[in-house]
A and B are shown apart, each in its own frame.
Chain A
Amino acid sequence: MGLAAKGEAQAPQQFEVCIVGSGAGAGPIAYELAKAGIKVVVLEKGDWYTEQDFVKDEQLPRHRVFRSQFDEERHVLELPDGEGGWRRETTAQFWGGNIVGGASNFMSGYFHRLKPSDFRLASTFGPIPGANTVDWPISYEELEPYYAKVEQIVGVSGRVVKHPRLEPRSTRDYPFPPTAEHPIAARFDNACQTLKLHPLPMARAILSRPFKQRLSCEYSGYCGSYGCHSGAKGSSRAALLNDAVASGNCRIITRAKVYRLNSDAQGRVSSADYFDASGKSRRIVANIFVVACYAIESARLLLASTGEKHPKGIGNRHDQLGKNLHCCAGGTGHGVFKLDKLPLETAKGLKQRGPFFNRALQDWYVIDDKTAFDKPVKGGTLDFVFDPPAPTSEANALKWQEGNLLWGTPLKQKLKAHFTQSRDFKFEVFCDWLTNDDCYVTLDDEEQDKWGQPVARVRAGFHPHDLKVAQYLVDRGVEVMKAMGADEAWGNVFSDPTANLVAGGCRFGKDPQTSVLNPDCRVHDCDNLYVTDGSFMPNGGSVTPTLTIYANAFRVADKLLERLTKD
């Protein structure tokens, strides 16, 4: 390849460890190794922004300012066409954050842990025909100390309450008290008590008190989808990379798009090639490489990195690379409260923007209900949340009435009623997206990115069982909304991939025939290559995976420290 040849002509820079990506799977590695005195380089495709850049402007997410642009980089997405085939489209929806710190800058930070049964899904619930469910090669107990570590270092606020599904914890409570709560939370708690449910305060990766150089939450109400102005949100950038860089042992190279890992005759990775800001190919040499650039892209990079010992891509000896990708199955629901029907003070409280709803239900993390399923099945989590403010999009959607365009005074009155006389509360259902043979990543034969590299093709097939579980949970959520007194409540399930919650593709396991990574997240047949983003996960758990990605990356960092200090 011509461009790579140019790279070979450059004097390569040498580091002990080279990390590709800077999000939740990368930050812990950089943080731990740099603090231990190991020279680390982080290659990030995007730019480096700071808190001062994160103004609360709806135009930033609307114009995808911190995410890759469709005309420069896209994915090919194959979705079921409803007739047994697949329809193909190109999309930019999978780009979560083209920026130092990656998508963790824009997360809402719902930091639920996985539960012990998530680590042994196959043996706990038995096989489901058509699903590739397996047990993890490690137990909850092995990851638990790292959950506790993330809660302390990244900064998680919350309050532990006893409930039937509470996972074992080595610490009594979260290191930071809960963030301020919206008045709707009390209404939620009352409704749940009436329904004999267990309302849970939700743990958030948001500081309720200042911590090191980071300020506590400013309660602007513009959290998920927006960058954090105070540094309270536990992004990889704010919580980990700033400290890593301050140690003097971590260098972050921005606008560095890694497109290939080169391997030697023994099959070890010898260098990484990237395009710099001007489009020139450059090379980094290191002893150990860590890939963490989001599940789809990590698989893509390994697939593109063919070599003498890795003719089908690194980690693909047994055709497992890119397989068993998963998203988050589930759905969403709404409860709309008409404010003019409520006492003035109550209505005023409900209109407040800033404090968090912060409530979850895990009563159906396992569903044991013979009327719906003939045996206990894995269920999921219901998070009760606010949508990120998007008033322009919200208003724009109101211009349609039963398929016809509305304007004039009728439109104005509809807008006024929506914004001033009602409040919409939302719940989100998270359950397992069962891994299956129709959900995977390959390289596309036709589509290329702006650097001329084949893009990832994502086939996103889902298992029908997911929809049944999701519907069960959505129905429960609607019941809660009604019990809270919502004037309107509804919900629906979806089968489209959740673009910001993709994991798997480089599953970890003990058997090289059925997995890409070993239990330490090192590629089975490549002694110096690790993958530490969500790619390792055999299943996502029925929660958002970021906390677990952080925790696992801290676990792998310990394995690396052990290895590097031994060498």
Chain B
Amino acid sequence: MVRSKREAKKQYAFETGLSRRDFIVRSGALGLLLSVKPELSWGSEEGFSLTTRPKGFDVINRAIIESVQQHLFPDDGDGPSAKELNAYRYLLWAMEDPDNRADEDRQFILQGAAWLEDWADTQTGRSFLVLSWDEQEALLQEIAKSRAGENWLSLLLYYLIEALMLDPLYGGNPDEIGWRWLEHQPGFPRPVPGKSYLDF
């Protein structure tokens, strides 16, 4: 689940770029996070099962993640923002994908949000959500210096970029807004309901 900066192995066209995960290190995210920032705790380490899902992505976590996504892909006047890409809704959908579930991405993303909130509290005495844009950005730059923080942001970007580039069938890239911005020409025929990758 945790991505390292190890470059993907590039070979012939048949294999290039088409593996889902380019950056994988086989180690538990929680263990890695704790080993990097042992002084931090994030409260309850409850398991995340389907029954606890609504609690997991509750209104606070949603607000934190949406704010971070907007920093990762801002509304800067050139190209769609995370919000315009439906990045949060896409993320929630992707968390149910069997491969992503197997990678425990859901748990890592929630743990990271809790960590960020803890870190904001430790550093500023306030919630991440009430900080100014610049203060939030400074915190994100700070956590990116740790391996765990960078991995968390990288994972959010991974799904954000899926929301930018995958077929709108999957919930991101509405009206091909990402493709139009990047002048990407999709193939044809395009996937339709009943012929998504989950239907095979």
- Chain A residues proximal to chain B, CB less than 8 Å: 49, 53, 55-66, 71, 93, 106-108, 218, 220-222, 224-226, 229, 328, 330, 332, 351, 353-354, 385-397, 399-400, 403-405, 407-409, 411-413, 415-416, 419-420, 426, 428, 494, 496, 498-501
Q: Which residue of A lies closest to B71 (CB)?
A: A408
Structural contact, A388 and B18, CB atoms closer than 8 A: yes
Q: Which residues of B sit under 8 angstroms from A397, Cβ to Cβ? A: 8, 17, 22
Cβ of A412 and Cβ of B79 under 8 Å apart?
A: yes
Indicate if the CB atoms of A351 and B187 lie closer than 8 Å: no
Bound Cα distance A416, B73 (Å): 13
Min C-beta distance of A352 to chain B, whole Å: 8
Residues in B whose Cβ lies below 8 Å from that of A60? 197, 200
Chain A residue nearest to B169 in the complex (CB): A57
* Structural contact, A391 and B165, CB atoms closer than 8 A: yes
Let me know if B20 and A63 touch, CB within 8 A: yes
Known interface pairs A58-B167, A396-B161, A407-B153; 13 further A-B residue pairs with C-beta atoms within 8 A, sorted by A's residue number: A53-B195, A57-B196, A59-B191, A106-B14, A332-B10, A332-B12, A388-B16, A390-B17, A395-B161, A407-B157, A409-B76, A411-B73, A501-B12
A-B contact pairs, 8 of them (CB 8 A): A57-B167, A57-B190, A57-B197, A391-B165, A392-B161, A408-B137, A409-B74, A416-B79
- In the complex, which residue of chain A has the Cβ closest to the Cβ of B80? A412
**Stretch with Cβ within 8 A of A (4 or more), from B47-55, B109-117, B118-126, B176-184:** B176-184
Chain B residue numbers with a CB within 8 Å of A387 are 13, 16-17
| Bound Cα distance A408, B102 (Å) | 29
Find chain B residues with CB under 8 A from A498 CB.
11-12
Q: How far is the CB of A417 from chain B (nearest CB, A)?
A: 10
Report whether over half of chain B's contact residues are helix, strand or loop; otherwise say mixed: loop
Q: Is B30 an interface residue (CB 8 A)?
A: no
Contact A407/B18 with A57-B197, A501-B12 known, Cβ cut-off 8 Å: no
- Once A53-B195, A220-B188, A500-B12 are accepted as A-B contacts, the answer to whether A405 and B79 lie under 8 Å apart by CB is no
Inter-chain CB contacts under 8 Å: number: 178
CB A216 to nearest CB in B, in angstroms, measures 15
Contact A55 B17 (CB under 8 A): no
Q: Which of A221, A225, A494 contacts B14 (CB 8 A)?
A: A225
A311 vs B123: C-alpha distance when bound (angstroms): 70
Sorted from nearest, which 3 A-B pairs have the closest CB atoms?
Answer: A56-B187, A222-B187, A390-B17
Write the nearest CB–CB distance from B57 to chain A, whole angstroms: 22
| Complex Cα gap A396–B195 (Å) | 24
B105 CB within 8 Å of chain A: no
Contacts known (A55-B189, A397-B8, A412-B78); A420 close to B183, Cβ less than 8 A: yes
Contact of A385 among B9, B13, B167 (CB under 8 A): B13
Chain B residues, CB < 8 A from A499: 11, 15
Task: Please give the distance in Å from B197's CB to the nearest CB on chain A.
Answer: 4
Is B129 positioned at the interface, with any CB of A under 8 Å from its CB?
no
Tell me which of B10, B169, B183 has the highest count of chain A C-beta atoms within 10 A of its own C-beta: B10
Binding site for A on B (CB under 8 A): 5, 8-20, 22, 71-74, 76, 78-79, 99, 102, 137, 140, 144, 150, 153-154, 157-158, 161-162, 164-167, 169-170, 181-192, 195-197, 200
Q: How far is the CA of A407 from the CA of B81 in the complex (A)?
A: 12
Task: State whether A93 touches B15 (Cβ < 8 A).
Answer: yes
In the complex, the answer to whether B18 meets A62 with C-beta atoms within 8 Å is yes
The answer on a CB contact under 8 Å between B197 and A65 is: yes
In the bound complex, do residue B150 and residue A405 qualify as a contact, i.e. CB atoms below 8 Å apart? yes
Q: In the docked arrangement, what's the CA distance between A559 and B78, Å?
A: 65
CB-defined contacts of B182 to chain A, threshold 8 Å = 391, 395, 415-416, 419-420
Q: Which residues from A are CB-within-8-Å of B16?
A: 332, 387-388, 390
Q: How far is the CA of A420 from the CA of B185 in the complex (A)?
A: 11
- Most chain B CB neighbours (cut-off 10 Å) among A224, A403, A412: A412
Residues of B within 8 A of A407 (CB): 71-73, 140, 153, 157
B14 & A224 in contact (Cβ 8 Å cutoff): yes
Which residue on A lies nearest to B153, using beta carbons?
A: A405
A58, B17: Cα distance in complex, Å: 10
Q: Which residue of A lies closest to B78 (CB)?
A: A412
Q: What residues of B have a CB within 8 angstroms of the CB of A394 in the complex?
A: 17
A227 to chain B, nearest CB (A): 11
Also in contact, A396 and B22, with CB within 8 A (given A332-B11, A500-B14): yes
The verdict on A57 contacting B164 (CB below 8 Å), with A63-B99, A332-B12 known, is no
Give the complex CA separation of A71 and B17 in angstroms.
21
Pairwise interchain contact B161-A426, C-beta atoms closer than 8 A: no
Q: Which residues on the B side are within 8 Å of A412 (C-beta)? A: 73-74, 76, 78-79
Cα distance A407–B161 in the bound complex, in angstroms: 11
Q: Residues of B contacting A494 with CB < 8 Å? A: 11
C-alpha gap A409/B5 in the complex (Å): 21
C-alpha spacing A66/B197, complex, angstroms: 10
Q: How far is the CB of A224 from chain B (nearest CB, A)?
A: 5
What separation, in Å, do the CA atoms of A498 and B170 have in the docked complex?
32
Complex Cα–Cα for A498 and B14 (A): 10
In angstroms, Cα B73 to Cα A494, docked, is: 35
Q: Report the Cα distance A329→B16, complex, angstroms.
A: 16
Give chain A residues whose Cβ lies under 8 Å from the Cβ of B79.
412, 415-416
Complex contact B186–A56 (CB within 8 A): yes
Of the candidates A71, A351, A408, A496, the one whose C-beta lies within 8 Å of that of B183 is A351
Best-buried of A63, A64, A106, A221 by chain B (most CB within 10 Å): A63
Q: Is the CB of B11 within 8 A of A496?
A: yes
Nearest B residue to A62, CB-CB = B20
Cα distance A172–B47 in the bound complex, in angstroms: 69
Q: How far is the CA of A389 from the CA of B188 in the complex (A)?
A: 12
